[in-house]
Amino acid sequence: MRTWVRTSAVAVAVALAGVVGPVAVTPAVAADPGTVTFTGRGFGHGRGMGQYGALGYAVDLGWDHERILRHYYGGATLARDAGNPALSVELTRNTGRSVVVEGPGIAVGGVVTGGRAVLVERTGGGRFDVRTGPSCGGPWTLWKSGVESGAVIATANGAPTVCEADRWTMYRGSLRVVERSGTSYLLNDVSVDDYLRGVLPREVPASWAGLGGGRGAEGLRAQAVAARSYALASSRPTSGATTCDTTACQVYGGHAEQFYGKAVKVLEDARTDTAVADTSGKVMRTAAGAVARAEYSSSTGGWTAGGVFPAVEDLGDATSSNPNRSWTVSVAASRVASALGTGQIRSIAVNARSGLGADGGRVQQVVVVDTAGRTSTFSGDTVRSRLGLKSDWFTVTGQGARNEAEAVVRALYNDVLGREPEPAGLANWTNVVATTNNPRLVADGIVNSKERLQALVTTEYVRALRRGPEPEGLANWVGYMERGATVSDLQIGIFASQESLNVLGGGDTRAWVAGMYAALLGRPASAAETAEWAAVAQRQGRGAAVAGIARSPEAGTQRLLAYYQRFLGRGLDPSGIASWLPAMSGRGDFTIPGMIGGSQEYWNRAQARFP
């Protein structure tokens, strides 16, 4: 019998509070059948600096950019010694294509071509043909064949323009065509500060500079230092460039662009230019002195994810202008199944979290159970990337398992407490199962509840004393078990009493032993058994006799069989006896019902009982 997947420590703590009625859990958001609803926090991977957090610290808390950087990049030091070195940027839209470049006085390999535009085509073997023309549209005349890989394309104004099918883009510095492994690449060689002028407006709004009476400019300065550090520390792409121009590196637009038929758009901004100039030469360095790869993302959701830099609480993320602090999206269950590669989804739930922040923090593991009962596990980041979610910090609700979860809750109430659940208890425990995918939480919660302990005490009173417990006795024995006593400890205390001797045996020890056999083992005692345990009672006390019977494998088997019959409607199997019988002499009456109630077999039976 396969037990259900385990869930987070936070959820276990909630369930084991022993409350059968309303539980302090976040209510699940009702979802239409066939949908899965993700409610999340933050946008991006969450490692390093949160961009909205930096803004919040600047605008709301008055931090300067150096303090912001120290907060997010723990273990790294702010240095002012990087200067303004040159770097190269792979212009990815031009990879594997012929390149057209325009500008005054255009030169290739240091030689002026005499035209205003050039067409550069790879011919193989690390060589290129260069043609000249009066403009981006040609016509073209062969200028030189066999130009070597790495040839620099420069213009007199230091701003070459790349002509593409739908637009032109102007870059600062110069360009270079290279061949690597049979593929041509176009690189932009530019100083790091000029590069950052084309990065910052793509990564954060330049308008931040005016927020908070100008305090938002510190957020832009923090971004400038982080982006400079990230660029200088990045791993080189296949082209051999220092970095690239997409989200795989940092988004870089160059100086200006024009889509044909549209107005010219300057891609730099004076406000972000100022942030770059104000922080020129500043980088974050590791303890070893290397430039730190200062990762950042839009919004951390309230805690950074950790990794290279320690995870820290991000109070700045709560700034009012942050649109990504929280989000909700509903996805068709069929799309979730397709994206994750599972069968039709019966239930999906978070199974482990980082422990940092609301809801237990970022998702570490998600468990999907399909309608065939197959279980698949995924990392939170895998779910994020395959479904296009904003981050890996989310909760999951929905996908019809609410009806199935309700069936399990109703079955557990009936099997453990012998009654239907009250509406509040049904709603809250259904939420627990639907959001955690783990009915064992409900089983453990009900099995360890005060109501169940009261029922256990009442049962033993009736069997040993033929009456129900008085209020004082009920409270005493319930407290005894709450402090860790077992069912057999309870039986010893009640059956060994003088009242039990009088009620079951009329004051006769042998008759009392016979009554215990009937009550605890469900069968008559033989003459030899009666004599043996009567002698133990007379020599060592009635408690020793009760302990010998109540803690025997036969008594444990009887109680274990009762759980199997009540929960699963069948007898014991060999594996169940081998695995669980030893626990019945200890806390098995509190752990085993939860394990059975959390099993796949129990889930399936509950659906048939409460369709």
What tens digit of pLDDT does each residue of 26-76 get? Answer: 333 333 357 888 999 999 999 999 999 999 999 999 999 999 999 999 999
pLDDT at 608: 82
Spatial separation of the C-alpha atoms in residues 289 and 295, rounded to whole Å: 17
Please indicate, yes or no, whether the overall pTM of this predicted structure exceeds 0.75: no
pLDDT at 25: 30
Confidence check: pLDDT of 401 > 80: no
Q: Confidence band (pLDDT; 50, 70, 90) for 398?
A: low
User: Any idea which residue has 């100083």 for tokens?
Assistant: 191
Per DSSP bridges, beta strands 141-148 and 174-180 are: unpaired
- Running DSSP on this structure, what letter comes out for residue 97? S
Spatial separation of the C-alpha atoms in residues 530 and 125, rounded to whole Å: 100
What tens digit of pLDDT does each residue of 158-203 get? Answer: 999 999 999 999 999 999 999 999 999 999 999 999 999 999 999 9
C-alpha closest to that of 3 among 395, 365, 444: 444
Tokens representing residue 239 in the block: 């082209």
Backbone torsions φ then ψ of 69, nearest 5 degrees: -65, -40
What tens digit of pLDDT does each residue of 225-258 get? Answer: 999 999 999 888 899 999 999 999 999 999 999 9
Confidence check: pLDDT of 346 > 90: no
Largest CA distance in the chain: 123
Confidence check: pLDDT of 15 > 50: no
Q: For the stretch 178-198, what's the b/e string if a residue is b when 16 or more beta carbons lie within 10 angstroms of its beta carbon? A: bbeeeebbbbbbbbbbbbbbb
Which domains, ranges and CATH numbers included, belong to the chain?
15-26+402-611 (1.10.3130.20), 32-41+326-399 (no CATH), 77-293 (no CATH)
SS3 144: strand
What tens digit of pLDDT does each residue of 68-126 get? Answer: 999 999 999 999 999 999 999 999 999 999 999 999 999 999 999 999 999 999 999 99
pLDDT at 26: 30
CB neighbour list of residue 573: distance below 8 Å, 6 or more residues apart: 1
Backbone torsions φ then ψ of 368, nearest 5 degrees: -115, 130
pLDDT at 436: 65
Distances (CA, A) of 19 to 70, 411, 453, 454, 570: 45, 17, 12, 13, 29
- Count helices and strands in the chain by DSSP H and E runs: 22, 25
Helix (H) or strand (E) holding 312: none
Give me the sign of the Cα torsion angle 237, 243, 248, 253. Answer: negative
pLDDT at 583: 85
Amino acid at 599: S
360-364 mean pLDDT: 93
Task: Burial-class residue 221 by CB neighbours within 10 Å (0-12, 13-18, 19+).
Answer: buried
CB neighbour list of residue 188: distance below 8 Å, 6 or more residues apart: 88, 89, 91, 171, 172, 173, 174, 175, 176, 245, 254
Spatial separation of the C-alpha atoms in residues 447 and 137, rounded to whole Å: 80
C-alpha closest to that of 180 among 234, 125, 223, 217: 125
Tokens representing residue 7 in the block: 């869930």
SS3 75: coil
SS3 71: helix
Q: Confidence band (pLDDT; 50, 70, 90) for 531?
A: very high
User: Any idea which residue has 């009620």 for tokens?
Assistant: 503
Q: How many other C-beta atoms lie within 10 A of the C-beta of residue 344?
A: 12
Q: Confidence band (pLDDT; 50, 70, 90) for 437?
A: low
Share of the chain above pLDDT 90, in %: 74
Residues 560, 566, 571, 574: what is their CA dihedral angle, to the nearest 10 degrees? -40
341-364 mean pLDDT: 88
Spatial separation of the C-alpha atoms in residues 567 and 596, rounded to whole Å: 7
